[in-house]
């Protein structure tokens, strides 16, 4: 009896702590989104209240959409993220396949060389990267960002994908070889579909830092036409500091797409972290 | 068998794109930057100056004061993460992994949300909440009778850096939580059952059985935190600007590098001193990572089940 009561009490305590922490994690996001729908007076009078018919106001959103070129920023972010993701996944998977499938001289060395980038941040090379981009005329282009993010994402992608590719059955690949498939067909037709879950994990891990990065857009592509949404909202909010409606609306607009994507992919992400960490 | 195998071109084809892009955009610029730190611009153009830039960085009081200030702040920033982020992450993971906990998936998803937001969002959101003008933080403290505790934390030299570090902890606590959670789940049931048979349960089970088993994960998290913190930039830049105010009290190596390399207000950007700072950061990160790999990592015992 006492055992049962004890465990109920313990589980209640666990829930209490977790609910408390969940509240801490979500509260700031909640406050910002809720207040972005209120008029100025209500934002200050009662920041914690949800908007009512009286206080509901979309003035902030109207300002944001009229002033900032958020659709363009959003489009830039989307292009950069999707293109970088494509190259990271394609090149990463190819290299991972070569490293995990074939034995050749320099295999371990190449693996280590590529893995270096996991520990050493690409930002430290910024000075020379900027000079290189200036020299090749790529400053203020999205291409510069795609190149940098591809290089940045590759080390982790190769590392995770080669772990997974070692698990693909040899019999299957050898059966393909006996049937006369080329190595390329084996890779694209047999192996890639089998590591799709791992690819999704890598995709999520690669995507978040690219979408959220401020450093490289700020240094390599700060022009109006190439601003990403992260840089765009940073600049916009900096200019509109005193217009609380606009700032709150801009923040909500920046939060929303990420949040929706996260809720769609959260299971994949969590499975990925859990699977990777067990190794 | 006697015949040598033909050169396997497909290996090259598979490896080439990744190796080329990685080498051209990451490794070459990295060494280019290290190399640039040995040069300086004078009237005659670019001149090789050896280690003079480093002598300036560490010796010239105008530079060294800023550098040591940034390094010290960075070390404190890292320490706060180690002391708050990791214990909180472990505690949350331990709670989440308790058997038959309902709603674990919900908690996991919700607590991880701040981690996916950009620094721009996180920085501004907290700036607004802590702002004395809006009054959310003082209002909430008032509700629990602690209004006297409120201060404009981000605006005071003494508390700004710690506040920023705690904001960063708030954002990233999801990562240690998830990794530790995964490590806890991978402990086989037999081990736990054996402990229970021996009467080791609850807290003592956590300390004596589970914690030693998840130490390697805690090690990896620590080194990831170290690398992340020592090239952090965005959060400080967003909330305090490139000058890392008030009075440089939140200046860390990332913002120092940005100011030096890119310039700000009246100071003109200096690629050579920028490269020198980047090289110093490279050295610090390399030192930290090797220290970890050669001392801590080796001593951690891994258990195979």
> What is the CATH number for B226?
1.10.3720.10
Residue B204 has which token pair?
A: 């003592």
Domain housing A24: 2-62
Terminal C-alpha separation, chain B: 41
A276, A160 contact by CB (below 8 A) = yes
Number of H helices, E strands in chain B: 17, 4
**Which residue's structure tokens are 């990451």?**
B26
Q: Report pLDDT for A202.
A: 84
Contacts of A21 (CB under 8 A, 6+ apart): B88, B92, B107, B111
Model confidence at A274, pLDDT cuts 50, 70, 90, reads: low
Residue A84 domain-assigned?
yes
**What pairing do the DSSP bridges indicate for beta strands B39-42 and B263-264?**
unpaired
Among residues A121, A219, A88, the alpha carbon closest in space to that of B21 is found at A88
Number of domains in chain B: 1
Residues A127 and A51 occupy one common structural domain:
no
Q: Closest approach of chain B CAs to the CA of A53, in angstroms?
A: 22
Assigned domain for A267 exists:
no
Q: With bands split at pLDDT 50, 70 and 90, how would you rate the model's confidence at B4?
A: low
Same domain, yes or no, for A118 and A228? yes
Got the DSSP string for chain A? -HHHHHHHHHHHHHHHHHHHHHHHHHHHHHHHHHHTTB-HHHHHH-TTSPP-TTTB--HHHHHHHHHS-HHHHHHHHHHHHHHHHHHHHHHHHHHHHHHHH---TTHHHHHHHHHHHHHS-GGGGHHHHHHHHHHTT-TTSHHHHHHHHHHHHHHHHHHHHHHHHTTS-HHHHHHHHHTT--HHHIIIIIIHHHTHHHHHHHHHHHHHHHHH--HHHHHH--SGGG--HHHHHHHHHHHTTT-HHHHHHHHHHHHHHHHHHHHHHHHHHHHHHHHHHH-
B271 occurs within a structural domain: yes
Q: Which residues pair with B263 in a beta bridge?
A: B268
From CA B205, how far away is CA B295, in angstroms rounded? 27
pLDDT at B1 over 50: no
> So what's the pLDDT on residue B116?
87
Task: Indicate if A74 and A30 belong to the same structural domain.
Answer: no
Facing A127 at nearest CB: one of B22, B33, B179: B33
CA distance B93 to A118: 25
Tokens representing B147? Answer: 């209004």
% of residues, chain A, pLDDT over 70: 93
Asked if the Cβ–Cβ distance from A128 to B103 is below 8 Å, we say: no
- What is the mean predicted confidence (pLDDT) over A126-150? 93
Domain closes at, from A239, A254, A271: A239
* Partner residue opposite B95 with nearest CB, options A18, A254, A278: A18
Give domain status of residue A214, yes or no: yes
Q: Which residues contact B154 (CB under 8 A, 6 or more apart)?
A: B126, B127, B130, B160, B163, B164, B239, B240
Contact yes or no for A95 and B120 at CB 8 A: no
Q: Which residues of B80-109 are buried (b: 16+ CB within 10 A; e: fewer)?
A: bbeebbbebbbbbbbbbbeeeeeebeebbb
Out of B108, B111, B234, whose CB is closest to A215? Answer: B234
**Quick check: is B5 in a domain?**
no
Instruction: State yes or no: pLDDT of B2 exceeds 50.
Output: no
Q: A271 or B23: whose pLDDT is higher?
A: B23
A74 burial (CB, 10 Å; 0-12 / 13-18 / 19+) is: middle
CA angle B212/B213/B216 to nearest 5° reads 90
* Residue B3, in any domain of the structure: no
Mean pLDDT, all residues of chain B: 86
- Whether residue A122 is contained in a domain is answered as yes
Counting Cα atoms < 13 Å in the Cβ hemisphere of B93 gives 27
Tokens 């280590």 correspond to A112
Q: Which residues pair with B267 in a beta bridge?
A: B264
Between β-strands B45-48 and B39-42, what pairing exists: parallel, antiparallel or unpaired?
antiparallel
Chain B interface mutation, best of A42, A87, A124, highest count of B Cβ atoms under 10 Å? A124
List the CATH number of the domain containing A79. Answer: 1.10.3720.10
**pLDDT computed for residue A278 by the predictor:** 40
Is B45 a member of any domain? no
Assess whether A143 and A230 both reside in one domain: yes
- Cβ atoms of B221 and B176 within 8 Å: the answer is yes
With respect to residue B8, please indicate whether it lies within any of the assigned structural domains.
no
Residue B39 falls within a domain, yes or no? no
Which pLDDT value is given to residue A212?
87
- In a domain? residue A261: no
Q: A31-68, pLDDT tens digit by residue?
A: 888 888 888 888 877 777 778 877 788 888 888 888 76
pLDDT surpassing 50 at residue A129: yes
Question: Percent of chain B, pLDDT > 70?
Answer: 97
Structural domain for B156, as ranges:
52-299
* CA neighbor of A117 nearest in space, from A81, A159, A57: A159
Angle, vertex CA B177, rays to CA B173 and CA B179, nearest 5: 120
Cα angle A166, A171, A177 (rounded to 5 degrees) comes to 105
Inter-chain CB proximity B116 and A208 less than 8 Å: yes
Determine, yes or no, domain membership for B163.
Answer: yes
Q: What is the DSSP letter of B245?
A: S
Q: Contact, B129 vs B137, CB < 8 A?
A: yes
Identity of the residue in B11, B36, B282 whose CB atom sits nearest the CB atom of A104: B11
Give buried/exposed letters for B153-166 (b at 16+ CB in 10 A, else e).
Answer: bbeeeeebbbbbbb
Average pLDDT over residues B77-83: 95
Q: Is the Cβ pair B36, A128 closer than 8 Å? A: yes
Residue A273 lies in a domain: no
Q: Longest C-alpha distance within chain B, in Å?
A: 87
Last residue of a domain, one of A44, A62, A80: A62
Mean pLDDT across the stretch B66-94? Answer: 94
pLDDT at B245 over 90: no
What pTM was computed for the model? 0.86
In a domain, B59, yes or no: yes
The answer to whether the CB atoms of A127 and B261 lie below 8 A apart is: yes
Q: Do B8 and A102 touch (CB under 8 A)?
A: yes
Q: Are B28 and B36 in contact (CB under 8 A)?
A: no
The pLDDT tens digits of the residues spanning A67-93 come to 768 889 989 999 999 999 999 999 999
What are the pLDDT digits (tens) for A219-271? Answer: 999 998 999 988 988 888 888 877 888 888 888 888 888 788 888 877 777 67
Give, in order, the Cα–Cα distances in Å from A79 to each of A205, A208, A232, A267, B121.
17, 14, 15, 25, 21
Q: Is A244 within the bounds of a domain?
A: no
Q: Would the CB atoms of B30 and A125 count as touching at under 8 Å?
A: yes
The number of domains in chain A is 2
* Count of CB atoms situated within 10 Å of the CB of A42: 18
Instruction: Kindly indicate the confidence band of residue B282, based on its pLDDT and cuts at 50, 70 and 90.
Output: very high
Residues in chain B with CB shorter than 8 Å from the CB of A28 are 114, 122, 125-126, 129
Same-domain pairing of A97 and A166 = yes
Last residue of a domain, one of A15, A42, A62: A62
d(CA A114, CA B105): 35
Identify all chain B residues contacting A33, using CB atoms and an 8 Å cutoff. none
Pair (A126, A202) in one structural domain: yes
């Amino acid at each position: 009896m006492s055992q049962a009561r004890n465990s109920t009490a313990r589980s209640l305590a666990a829930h209490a702590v977790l609910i408390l922490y969940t509240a801490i994690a979500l509260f700031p996001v909640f406050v910002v989104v809720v207040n972005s729908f209120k008029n100025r007076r209500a934002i200050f009078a009662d920041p914690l209240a949800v908007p009512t018919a009286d206080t509901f106001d979309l003035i902030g959103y109207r300002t944001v959409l009229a002033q900032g070129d958020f659709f363009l920023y959003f489009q830039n972010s989307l292009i950069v993220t999707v293109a970088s993701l494509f190259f990271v996944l394609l090149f990463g998977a190819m290299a991972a396949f070569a490293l995990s499938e074939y034995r050749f001289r320099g295999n371990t060395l190449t693996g280590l060389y590529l893995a270096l980038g996991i520990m050493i941040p690409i930002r430290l090379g910024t000075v020379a990267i900027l000079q290189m981009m200036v020299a090749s005329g790529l400053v203020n282009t999205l291409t510069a960002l795609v190149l940098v993010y591809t290089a940045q994402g590759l080390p982790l992608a190769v590392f995770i994908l080669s772990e997974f590719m070692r698990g693909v059955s040899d019999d299957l690949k050898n059966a393909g070889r006996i049937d006369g498939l080329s190595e390329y067909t084996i890779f694209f037709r047999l192996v890639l579909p089998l590591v799709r879950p791992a690819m999704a994990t890598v995709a999520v891990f690669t995507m978040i830092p690219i979408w959220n990065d401020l450093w490289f857009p700020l240094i390599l592509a700060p022009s109006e036409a190439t601003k990403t949404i992260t840089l765009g909202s940073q600049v916009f909010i900096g200019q509109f500091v005193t217009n609380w409606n606009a700032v709150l609306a801009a923040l909500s607009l920046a939060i929303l797409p990420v949040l929706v994507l996260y809720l769609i992919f959260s299971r994949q992400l969590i499975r990925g972290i859990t699977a990777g960490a067990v190794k | 068998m006697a015949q040598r195998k033909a050169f396997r071109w497909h290996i090259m084809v598979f490896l080439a794109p990744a190796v080329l892009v990685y080498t051209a955009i990451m490794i070459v610029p990295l060494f280019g930057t290290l190399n640039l730190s040995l040069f300086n611009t004078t009237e005659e153009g670019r001149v090789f100056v050896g280690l003079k830039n480093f002598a300036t960085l560490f010796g010239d009081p105008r530079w060294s004061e800023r550098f040591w200030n940034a390094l010290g702040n960075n070390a404190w920033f890292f320490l706060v993460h180690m002391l708050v982020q990791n214990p909180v992450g472990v505690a949350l993971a331990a709670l989440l992994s308790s058997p038959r906990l309902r709603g674990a998936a919900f908690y996991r998803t919700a607590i991880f949300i701040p981690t996916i937001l950009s620094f721009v969002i996180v920085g501004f959101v907290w700036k607004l909440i802590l702002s004395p003008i809006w009054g959310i933080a003082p209002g909430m403290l008032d509700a629990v009778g602690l209004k006297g505790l409120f201060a404009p934390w981000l605006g005071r030299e003494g508390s700004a850096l710690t506040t920023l570090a705690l904001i960063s902890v708030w954002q990233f606590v999801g990562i240690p939580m998830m990794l530790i959670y995964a490590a806890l789940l991978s402990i086989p049931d037999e081990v736990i059952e054996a402990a229970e048979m021996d009467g080791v349960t609850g807290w003592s089970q956590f300390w004596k059985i589970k914690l030693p088993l998840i130490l390697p994960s805690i090690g990896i998290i620590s080194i990831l935190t170290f690398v992340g913190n020592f090239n952090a930039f965005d959060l400080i830049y967003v909330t305090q600007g490139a000058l890392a105010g008030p009075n440089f009290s939140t200046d860390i190596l990332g913002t120092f590098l940005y100011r030096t390399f890119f310039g700000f207000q009246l100071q003109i950007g200096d690629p050579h001193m920028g490269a020198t700072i980047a090289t110093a950061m490279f050295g610090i990160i390399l030192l930290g990572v090797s220290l970890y790999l050669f001392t801590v990592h080796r001593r951690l015992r891994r258990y195979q089940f």
